[in-house]
Amino acid sequence: LENALRQSQKLEALGQLTGGVAHDFNNLLTAALANLHLMERHLPAEGTRYLDGTLTALERARTLTGQLLAFSRQEAVDPKVIDLGDGLRAMANLLERSIRADIALDWALPSAPLRVEVDPVQLELAVLNLVVNARDAMPEGGRIRIAVRQEEAPDGPLAVLEITDTGGGMPPEVAARAFEPFFTTKPHGKGTGLGLSMVYGFARQSGGNATISSAPRRGTVVRITLPVSGRTPEPEAAPDPAEAPSAG
């Protein structure tokens, strides 16, 4: 109970802190990123090298403002029915840019549609946070696996999304607190302690759950379960095929 109280006090303080500032920053960063992505297409190859670092830095900044926004109560969640596999495929470029050359990104996405009702912006942030955590847990390189499958549960079918890494893992006392806002073991200036609590908030808000299974030297699995939606997705622009990795 004391934990829950501390957690809600922290959340409230953060909600007051963020508000308009994070919101305006997020919009400015989104506009800047969109323009830079357009610029990228028109630059000769040697120019895009310099642009890459800028994009990475701005995307990191947007992750941060997005995390803050997710906690500020002014942030409206905008759930949509989407195919989970498509949502992840659309992130392939962003994720590849967020890891390092000594880390392999493996995909195991279903070919059949698996519909969930989530805020696509929050889904993107959650997965990006998990991949960045996995990267940080593997300073000597390793593998990150993004897997999606359907499971039958007593209350109906679940979409299961697992992000697995081969990194250092967490001792039990870290795993127990990892979802807590502001809990971080990273050096000052490197971690906010907001990534996993955003992931947890996203899962719960979407009617699902998030769990961690981890042990020192055994790597980490973060598992998000979401109820499968029986509704059909709203018609929307098809994802850019150039962005999509192959399934399997």
Contacts with ligand ADP by CB under 6 A lie at: 129, 133-134, 137, 165, 167-170, 174, 178, 183-186, 191-197, 220
Q: CB 75 → ligand ADP: shortest distance, Å?
A: 18
Q: Are 144 and 242 in contact (CB under 8 A)?
A: no
Minimum CB–partner distance for residue 89 and ligand ADP (Å): 22
We find the least distance from the C-beta atom of residue 77 to ligand ADP, in angstroms, to be: 20
Closest to ligand ADP by CB, 138 or 228: 138
Q: How far apart are CB 10 and ligand ADP at their closest, in Å?
A: 12
| Cα separation, 195 vs 64, whole angstroms | 9
Which lies closer to ligand ADP via its Cβ, residue 160 or residue 196? 196
Residue 60 or 97 having the CB closest to ligand ADP: 60
Cα 136 from Cα 190, distance rounded (Å): 10
Alpha carbon separation from 49 to 40, 56, 95, 104, 128 (Å, rounded): 9, 11, 17, 21, 22
Whether 8 and 181 have beta carbons less than 8 Å apart is answered as: no
Query: Nearest approach, Cβ of 19 to ligand ADP (angstroms)?
Result: 21
* Helix or strand holding residue 33 (H, E): helix 2-42
Closer Cβ to ligand ADP, 15 or 193, answer by number: 193
Residue among 120 and 191 whose Cβ is closer to ligand ADP: 191
CB contact set of 106 (below 8 Å; sequence gap of 6+): 143, 144, 145, 146
By beta carbon distance, the residue nearest ligand ADP is 195
